[in-house]
Amino acid sequence: MELFFSDDIQDAQVRLDPEESAHCVRVLRHRVGDEISVIDGRGTLYRCVLEIADAKGAWARVLERIHGFGAHPYHLTMAVCPTKNIDRYEWFVEKATEIGVDVVAPVIGERSERKVLKTERLRRLALSAAKQSLKAAVPQVAEPVGVRDFILSAPEGALKLICYCFDDVERLPITEVLRRQAERVMVLIGPEGDFSPEEAALARANGWVPVQLGPSRLRTETAALTAVTAVYLFSLEA
């Protein structure tokens, strides 16, 4: 099953952009009358019939709308400091999308070696991973913000978890904390050099629960994916 993406869906008309049109018509050789599936990136899949097979601008007519296609039963924001090696962050975005994440928020910590991050490529990766894993919702990739700003701007009512390494306070295993019911989960993962003690203290003072991911020493992106997998697996239990 091949999913196309469109951000130009009005009433029963779906328009594919030139890139998607070329993929649909030139690469996959779809013809007028073929049925195709298009996602809006916001959770709805549209079963359509191709009406204009133009490799520069294809049009399709909506046959059926399927809301929540490929959705997961939780809302997860992963706030993860960019890794020195950007490939590892891109890998995280791809894998987290496959497993199930709603927002990837790059955050810059005091000890982050990488202070800038281009989000455009990450957004393309999230889109292609969502299509590949048959999800109609594409995770949002936020623009980078500072760790302190992110901590202070987090919404009320979310279960807010911060993973860090130093042992100044007791940190519960994430598996225990995830037993608490919450509509939204937010997880904050630090840079290679970890959060600064001030960042960790600010988080705790603002309701973030210190958690640990077990005895293994995990790289930033592995810790982040382990947290995504924990939320995903625990949603199977609920």
Cβ of residue 141: shortest distance to a second copy, in angstroms?
A: 19
Cβ of residue 184: shortest distance to a second copy, in angstroms?
A: 19
Cβ of residue 107: shortest distance to a second copy, in angstroms?
A: 22
CB 173 within 8 A of CB 227: no
Cβ of residue 179: shortest distance to a second copy, in angstroms?
A: 10
Closest CB to a second copy among 153 and 175? 175
Q: What is the 3-state secondary structure of 146-190? A: EHHHHHHHCCCCCEEEEECCCCCCCCEEHHHHCCCCCCEEEEEEC
Cβ of residue 59: shortest distance to a second copy, in angstroms?
A: 28
What does each C-alpha distance from 117 to 110, 130, 161, 212, 218 come to in angstroms?
A: 15, 21, 23, 26, 22
Residues that bind a second copy (CB under 8 A): 70, 72, 91, 95, 98-100, 132-135, 173-176, 214-219, 222, 225-226, 229-230, 232-237
Closest CB to a second copy among 74 and 195? 74
Cβ-based burial of 91 (10 A; exposed 0-12, middle 13-18, buried ≥19):
middle
Closest CB to a second copy among 154 and 230? 230
What b/e string do you get for 23-47 counting C-beta neighbours within 10 Å, with b at 16 or more?
A: bbbeeeebeeeeebbbbbbebbbbe
Please give the DSSP secondary-structure letter assigned to residue 78. Answer: E
Closest CB to a second copy among 124 and 179? 179
Closest CB to a second copy among 137 and 162? 137
